[in-house]
Structure 1
Amino acid sequence: MTESSERPRLPIAVVIPTKNEAANITGTVRSVVDHFQAVVVVDSDSTDDTRKLAAAEGAEIVPYVWDGKYPKKKQWCLDHVRTEIPWVLFVDGDEMPSPELLAELRRIFLDGRPVRPAAFDIPLGYWFAGRRLRHGYTIVKRALLDRTRARFPEPDDLDAPGMGEQEGHYQPLADPVVRLKAPLEHMDLDPVRTWFERHNRYSDWEAWLEKNPDVREQIRTAKTRQGQLFHKAPFKPLLSFAYAYVYRRGFLDGRAGFDYALAMSFYRWQIGLKSREPDL
């Protein structure tokens, strides 16, 4: 019997939204399956072996087909997946909880006291081009939710390109929210070109918002404080690079730190360029 199987499992349902995550899904499911009450892969018609590999590691498989309306995928999971378990931890198909995060969750959920927050923000341990970044821009996800006290917003962005079935770059609404200290490791094993492919789509959505300020304002209120401040800032490509590479000392990550800061700056430039493109 392993050490993890001797411990009580965390009263949390891990939900892993996937589409074609065969390169990463085995490690992700293995990292959570012995620690949580349930592990569910919610898959959007993968054409690779995502479902087969996840099931082999002990995950439940739930198929998902988006109907083009709200709720989108994560809110649908809150409404339909293992609803007898109030707490849900969203983990991407290329993410794994660090040992420190598992220990932090055990202190919160297994000490016998009620859990006061409605949600927890979790920092990402971000990997880029094969290297773990220790500095630079810090990404925080509101990934752990009490489904009875949290909900994703439904802005008027269904006509926007770029996101499809996924909720956009905004946080679920909850109160109160507490930030955890330990990271969720975002360990993407896909080639770096897939990062640019994803962010090309994301920039389509962000640029559409720039042309639709009423919807942009709806989403601004669902961002973190840092996101709201950056939302108003001028010269975003230059500011993004200076913040990540200089102020947050991304240069200490060597070439990977420079590449990531430059890639994020390029992403911000894409958004600005696309938002200035005239409608045809």
Structure 2
Amino acid sequence: MSLSQNSNDLLPVSVVIPVRNEEHNLPACLAKLSRFSEILVVDSQSDDRTVEIAEAAGARVIQFHWTGTFPKKRNHVLMNEELANDWILFLDADEHVSEAFCDALAAELPQSDKVGYWLTYSNYFMGKLMRHGVAQRKLALIRKGAGLYEKIDEDGWSQLDMEIHEHPILDGEIGEIEGEIDHRDFAGLEKFLRRHIDYAKWEAARSAKLKAGGDAALNDLTSRQRFKYRHLEKWWFPWFYFCFAYFAKRGFLDGGAGLSYAFYKAWYFHSIRLLIKENAAAK
């Protein structure tokens, strides 16, 4: 399979896929990208067949060596890599674009005056497609030169070499693209829990940084982020999220998987709260 096509109909979008040991997910992700004019796979020294698969598919591969300081993976690409297009789509290896999504890009981008677009994603838990609950959205389609992901002082405490919760700070109007990206996360419960423990540690440390900076530190965040960081330490916040996801957003319609997903997300926010208290007591 080749990602290159001799066609004037290719989408003028550079797809950037940050990876590490994604030999199981990457082939299906790449197979959906034949309509894009450039594919860049940014690898963190995988020791499986990730690089071989990417190169065989015609993607350009670069190796990213994180020093533990700014920038991380996505900002490194935005700051240092020569990309062929003005539009950059950040995609994870377990995310699949659809024809409807590509059609929406083809219709929207040529005349766009926006600097970025919110994208919507399907969500799976324990192998079940979640049709309800809190929608997954990311600002993952960015115009080149419009901005970077948040620069967060995390030297020495973060183990995440890629921007996970950081939000792009863009100078200009932001829109929204129709058509879901299929987030086919089938890694299983153990990996879900391990990943969210790492995320909880990061969120607890970041919360402390933001608290030290006062209200001014929240200025560049989205309204959703500001609400979260203002209330993460409150006892009621995990249960607020549970009720919002399970009842207000009708997560109960997803059956047992919907209940478990809302429960584990509440557990996640409760873990962040306890880590914040524990870190503060240790100082």
Task: Name the TM-score, length of structure 2 as normaliser.
Answer: 0.89
Alpha-carbon RMSD across the aligned residues, in angstroms, is: 2.0
Residues 99 and 9 of structure 1: CA distance in aligned 2, closer, same or farther (over 3 Å): same
| CA drift at 1:266 | 0.8
Tell me which moved more, 166-175 or 265-274. Answer: 166-175
Helix, strand or coil for the counterpart of 2:122? Answer: strand
Alignment of 1:79-228 (within 5 A): 79-110=79-110, 113=111, 115-163=112-160, 165-174=161-170, 175-212=172-209, 213-214=211-212, 220-228=218-226
Aligned to 2:70: 70
- Sort the Cα spacing of 1:230 and 1:181 in 2 relative to 1 into closer, same or farther, 3 A: farther
8 A contact 2:15–2:36 mirrored in 1: yes
Q: Deviations over 1:10-32 (max 9, x none)?
A: 10100000011122111111111
1:194-273, aligned counterparts within 5 Å? 194-212=191-209, 213-214=211-212, 220-233=218-231, 234=234, 235-273=236-274
> Over residues 129-161 of structure 1, what are the superposed CA-to-partner deviations in whole Å (9 max), with x where a residue is unaligned?
111111101121010001211212212222333
Write the distance in 2 (CA, Å) between the matches of 1:155 and 1:230. Answer: 17
Aligned to 1:279: 282
Q: Within 1, Cα distance between the matches of 2:61 and 2:123?
A: 27
The answer (yes or no) to whether the contact 2:75–2:148 under 8 Å persists in 1 is yes
Task: Tell me the CA shift for residue 275 of structure 1.
Answer: 0.9
State the shift of 1:232 in Å: 2.6
Q: Which runs of 5+ in 1 are unaligned?
A: none
Which residue in the other structure is 1:21 paired with?
22
The letter for the 1-side match of 2:167 is Q
Distance in 2, Cα, partners of 1:142 & 1:8: 25
1:55 is aligned to: 55
Q: Which residue pairs with 2:35 in the alignment? A: 35
TM-score, normalisation: structure 1:
0.90
Q: Tell me how far apart the structure 2 counterparts of residues 225 and 180 of structure 1 sit (CA, whole Å).
A: 20
Q: Distance in 1 between matches of 2:31 and 2:19?
A: 15
The SS at the match of 1:62 is: strand
Q: Is the 8 A contact 1:119 1:150 kept in 2?
A: no
How high is the sequence identity, in percent, across the aligned residues? 28
- The C-alpha deviation readout for 1:234-255, integer Å capped at 9, x for no partner, is 4211011101110000011111
In 1, are the aligned partners of 2:87 and 2:142 still within 8 Å (CA)? yes
SS of 1:211's equivalent in the other structure is helix
Contact 1:14 1:40 in 2 (8 A): yes
Q: In the alignment, is the contact (CA less than 8 A) between 1:13 and 1:82 conserved in 2? A: no
Give the AA of the match of 1:77. Answer: V
Give 5+ residue unaligned stretches, structure 2: none
Residue 10 of structure 1 is matched in structure 2 by 11
